[in-house]
Amino acid sequence: MPQVIAAARLEHAAPVRVQARKLEIDQRRPAVRAHDDVLFLVQIVVAEADAVERAHEVLQQREEVVGQRLRAVQRRARDVGAQDDLTRPRDPPAQVGVRREHSVLDEPAEPAPVFGREAVFEVSERRQHPALTSREGPRQRPEARARRGDPPHDPLDAEHAARNGQALEQLDMPERVAFELGHDSHLGHRARTVRRVGQRATHSPVGGTARSLAGTARRGGGPALLSASASLARANVHTFPSAIPVQATRPPKSSSAARAGAIHARGLVRRFGAHTVLQPFDVDVEPGLVTGLLGPNGSGKSTFMRCLVGLVRADAGAVTLDGVRLLGDGTGVRERATYAPGELHLYGELKGHEQLTFLLRGRDRAAHERARNIADDLGLPLERRVRGYSHGMKRQLLFAAAMAPDVRVRILDEISEGLDPAKRSEILERIADDAAAGRAVLLSSHHLGEVDRVCARLLFLSKGQLIADEAAVDVARRSSRRLSLVWADEASATRALDVLRGPLVAEALRDGARTSWLLAEDDPRPFLARLAAASELPAPIALEHGRMSLSDLYRDLYGVEGT
Amino acid sequence: MLRTKRAYVAYGLGLTLIVGLMLAGAIYWWPTFSVNVTQLKVFALPVPMLGDMLNQIERGGVAAYVAGQHYFKAGNTVCVGAAILFASGAVAGEAQRGTLEVWLARPVSRARLLTERYVGGLLVTLAPLFLTSALVPWMLTWVDESMGFGDLMRMSVHCAAMLTAIYSLAFLWSTASSDPMRIIFVVLMFFVFQFAIYLVKTATNYSFFRLADIEVYMKIVLHDRLDMRIVGPFVAVSVVSYVTSLRVFARRVP
């Protein structure tokens, strides 16, 4: 949290995204009440790799000892070999919207190579429960701390923010900053938090430099950096999906001529009775890119995809896929594309490998082999009957079948729906790689954050109409004016509306303890500075900037109700 | 229901076993039946149609008995039930369980998928009938009787034509529906009703089963040929139903 607030003081660039979240404490356990650890997760996307390098150097100047337990987790994770991903960075193709991540904080003996544009910091503070302490702790009265010369604890305290900001002032402003605030405990949420740290650590050596912030903050009663980690996009397991896909160039506008490996849809119309599900619009999906098809439930995404592969006959319009025109029942098109349906219904009586064989009927033997390999990589028990599979496992089975055939077009409907973050990242990563190999991938979702990390281009549907066709990076930029804060109670939220309202804010709304702000300008720093300086307000327990839900996007950017 | 080769084999063997056991039991009981047919007719007095059937069997001997037990009884009950069961789940079953989309999403034409499903279900329905019919001459040796294999095959073809027509109609409905249980219930109830009115002397001529009863089968045996006035319409209904199924299925939305 303090880094975010400090970020408001930077003058070079504006963050696009900020996020914070607070975990609950298991207050039933006396031991938990006695000692609370507070964890902050700081996720920063910077404009360029050099900025991450500078962040690395700056943060290394600060010292502290990382908690022994966390380091053990990190070392274990490192031992599993994920370090290879860090030491041998692979550049994604420029045309593919792949975000790269990287640790800015690393063991001093093994400085991590710096590349990519994202860093993840985890900031921790150990404090004693106020009920059991009289001299220290986060809830200690500010004047008492001031008498002892301690820095303020409140992350929103202006002085504290300034302290933390000094180090960061040497950096370019990150494009996005995300925070997670965890009131951790020895017995309760500690394990959860450490596991989450471990997930990151599986892809990056972390820890050493993190000591610095930890020590500084602990001495001052402020937050301490426990660890920092990051990962390459190929090994991206972080909690927050990015809203900032990297794209070297805007996706090319396609010609209307049919091209190999591309999808061209022209004026597709589909009616069910009197209800028109698809209104006529034109879409070109280019090879080498992941194109996202976004829209709320009932917007026509699945019908559009089904029309592309001939599962639903369009009442009007034409489709050309990989140079082949959709005719009849679309068998010719389906031979040149794979389609993973959004509806997750499989044959429970079949074993996993039998289901794969069923799904891959009409494909060559190599596709069957590849599907088994993918399924094995994903850890699917192919000898078990599908009825024993979880929702996510079934989804992964469909994914394996869709990714195995050597075709130039893949149409994936809600392929990451219902997966845990790690699997989702793995699958999205494979999709990005697949597109990088020159395939056209059309990926649908009704969750913006699920697909934007790999999509270079986003198509937005609403009520069967294509309402926007934008580069993903443009959508991310447009979302940078939104900021939301979650407060401990509604009274604080109401007070925040009064205190923070002003020329910096175009619109402010309160929904319970959450306040939503539409900033008057793209740069959130003035508002964050105002927030940091507002000592009369308590610290928000969650902060989110630069992230939009699909319904936000639809409502704010297109004036269409998205849900 | 019938989605994998394993299922086809299992259901086919199961139906063969049921029909075969019914047939074996009936043939084993033939000597007792032939001796006691006069007393049985007394029991059948309250149901005139039963009396008529017993008279036909008394006149036709073991051939009429086999026609009554195997083709009229097993064919018109168990096999009709199986045909309705297999046909109703062919497409509607996929739709009901939500697997229609993954079934269709593969690079295989719909016509081929539907034909495979149609032929598969039909084979599972008809193969047990022909298989058990082929066993009749051997079974009759248990009771020192005999019967021409040609007669049995002709009667089997007649019964198969009727089953195919019923199967095709149920299949057509299944192609357009997503509720196999409704198809099963409605079609089964219809044929139960048909069987019921068959046993009513004054209404028997309105029953569908008049097209496949002992009298019809005995005519086939007597004339050594199929009655094309009956088999022809069965085949026509089947073809029209199948072609219509293809057309309906071509536009079917998953």
Question: In this predicted model, what pLDDT tens digit does every residue of A303-319 receive, in sequence order?
Answer: 999 999 999 999 999 99
Indicate the angle between helix axes B80-88 and B5-43, nearest 10 degrees: 150
Name chain A contacts of B108, Cβ cutoff 8 Å: 331, 361-362
Handedness of CA A191, A197, A200, A206 (dihedral sign): negative
Show the 3-state SS of A302-341. Answer: HHHHHHHCCCCCCCEEEEEECCEECCCCCHHHHHCEEEEC
Q: Read off φ and ψ for residue A424, nearest 5 degrees.
A: -60, -45
pLDDT in tens, chain B (254 residues): 667 888 899 999 999 999 999 999 999 999 999 999 989 988 888 888 999 999 999 999 999 999 999 999 999 999 999 999 999 999 999 999 999 999 999 999 999 999 999 999 999 999 999 999 999 999 999 999 999 999 999 999 999 999 999 999 999 999 999 999 999 999 999 999 999 999 999 999 999 999 999 999 999 999 999 999 999 999 999 999 999 999 999 989 88
pLDDT of residue A175: 45
Among chain A residues, the shortest Cα distance to B93 is held by: A347
Is A506 exposed, middle or buried, given 0-12, 13-18 or 19+ CB atoms closer than 10 A?
exposed
Strands A440-445 and A290-294: parallel
Q: Over 90: is that where the pLDDT of A265 sits?
A: yes
Which residues, at least 6 apart from B205, have a Cβ–Cβ distance to it below 8 Å? Answer: none
d(CA A389, CA A218): 46
Distance from CA of B130 to the nearest CA of A (A): 30
Is A388 exposed, middle or buried, given 0-12, 13-18 or 19+ CB atoms closer than 10 A?
exposed
Q: Read off φ and ψ for residue A145, nearest 5 degrees.
A: -65, -40
Mark yes or no for CB contact A331/B108 under 8 Å: yes
Radius of gyration (Cα) for chain B, nearest Å?
Answer: 19
Among chain B residues, the shortest Cα distance to A344 is held by: B98
B247 touches A at CB < 8 Å: no
| E-only strand ranges, A213-299 | 224-229, 263-272, 275-278, 282-285, 290-294
Among chain A residues, the shortest Cα distance to B251 is held by: A313
Nearest Cβ partner of A347 from B3, B109, B254?
Answer: B3
Inter-residue contact A174 to A528 (CB < 8 Å): no
Per the model's pLDDT, the better-predicted residue between B46 and A136 turns out to be B46
Band the pLDDT of A511: cuts 50, 70, 90.
confident
d(CA A154, CA A138): 7
Inter-residue contact B174 to B183 (CB < 8 Å): yes
Nearest Cβ partner of B110 from A329, A343, A345?
Answer: A329
d(CA A87, CA B151): 82
Q: Over 80: is that where the pLDDT of A237 sits?
A: no
Inter-residue contact A314 to A333 (CB < 8 Å): no
Count the neighbouring beta carbons within 10 Å of the beta carbon of residue A115.
18
Using CA atoms, how far residue A307 sits from A258, A328, A403, in Å, is 17, 12, 20
Average pLDDT over chain A reads: 66
Task: Look up tokens 């004036």; give the residue.
Answer: A559
Closest CA to A417 of A247, A310, A334, A297: A297
Band the pLDDT of A229: cuts 50, 70, 90.
very low
Mutate to test the interface with A, among B5, B9, B11, B101 (most CBs of A within 10 A): B101
A563 touches B at CB < 8 Å: no
d(CA A281, CA B113): 32
Task: Look up tokens 């990451």; give the residue.
Answer: A416
DSSP states along A88-145: S--PPPTTS-------S---TTSPPP--SSEEEEEEEEEEE-TTT-SS-STTS-HHHH
Instruction: Provide the β-strand partners of residue A410.
Output: A338, A441
Closest CA to B12 of B128, B135, B134, B115: B128
A364 touches B at CB < 8 Å: no
Task: Express each pLDDT in A350-359 by its tens digit.
Answer: 999 999 999 9
Q: Over 60: is that where the pLDDT of A520 sits?
A: yes
H-type helices in A452-489, by residue range? Answer: 472-478
Task: Look up tokens 């910077």; give the residue.
Answer: A46
Using CA atoms, how far residue A377 sits from A6, A84, A426, A515, in Å, is 42, 18, 10, 43
Distance from CA of B104 to the nearest CA of A (A): 7
Closest CA to B84 of B173, B19, B3, B17: B173
Count the neighbouring beta carbons within 10 Å of the beta carbon of residue B135.
17
Closest CA to A484 of A514, A521, A529: A514
Band the pLDDT of A254: cuts 50, 70, 90.
very low
Its pTM stands at 0.67
Per the model's pLDDT, the better-predicted residue between A26 and A470 turns out to be A470
Does this complex have an ipTM over 0.85?
Answer: yes
Among chain A residues, the shortest Cα distance to B3 is held by: A347
H or E element that contains A219: helix A210-220
Mutate to test the interface with B, among A321, A324, A345 (most CBs of B within 10 A): A345
Show the 3-state SS of chain B. Answer: CCCCHHHHHHHHHHHHHHHHHHHHHHHHHHHHHHHHHHHHHHHCCCCHHHHHHHHHHHHHHHHHHHHHHHHHHHHHHHHHHHHHHHHHCCCHHHHHHCCHHHHHCCCCCHHHHHHHHHHHHHHHHHHHHHHHHHHHHHHHHHHCCCCCHHHHHHHHHHHHHHHHHHHHHHHHHHHHCCCHHHHHHHHHHHHHHHHHHHCCCCCHHHCHHHHHCHHHHHHHHHHCCCCHHHHHHHHHHHHHHHHHHHHHHHCCCC
Tokens encoding A293:
């098809």
Count the neighbouring beta carbons within 10 Å of the beta carbon of residue A422.
14
Using CA atoms, how far residue B47 sits from B141, B196, B201, in Å, is 32, 11, 8
Inter-residue contact A322 to A407 (CB < 8 Å): yes
Mark yes or no for CB contact B105/A345 under 8 Å: no
Q: Over range A70-89, report the average pLDDT.
A: 39
Tokens encoding A146:
């001031």
Band the pLDDT of A36: cuts 50, 70, 90.
very low
Name chain B contacts of A311, Cβ cutoff 8 Å: 101, 104-105, 253-254
Name chain B contacts of A329, Cβ cutoff 8 Å: 109-111, 250
Indicate the angle between helix axes B110-140 and B149-176, nearest 10 degrees: 150
How is residue A233 annotated by DSSP? G
Using CA atoms, how far residue A309 sits from A285, A406, B31, B173, in Å, is 14, 16, 64, 26
Using CA atoms, how far residue A116 sits from A99, A119, A190, A197, B174, in Å, is 7, 9, 30, 20, 56
pLDDT of residue A73: 40
A395 touches B at CB < 8 Å: no
pLDDT of residue A445: 85
Indicate the angle between helix axes A352-359 and A365-377, nearest 10 degrees: 140
Q: Of all residues in chain A, what percent carry a pLDDT higher than 90?
A: 30
Tell me the residue type at A476: A
Nearest Cβ partner of B107 from A306, A335, A350?
Answer: A335
Mutate to test the interface with A, among B2, B109, B116, B178 (most CBs of A within 10 A): B109
Radius of gyration (Cα) for chain A, nearest Å?
Answer: 25
Mutate to test the interface with A, among B9, B102, B114 (most CBs of A within 10 A): B102
Inter-residue contact B214 to B56 (CB < 8 Å): yes
Among chain B residues, the shortest Cα distance to A327 is held by: B109
d(CA A364, CA A262): 22
Among chain A residues, the shortest Cα distance to B110 is held by: A329
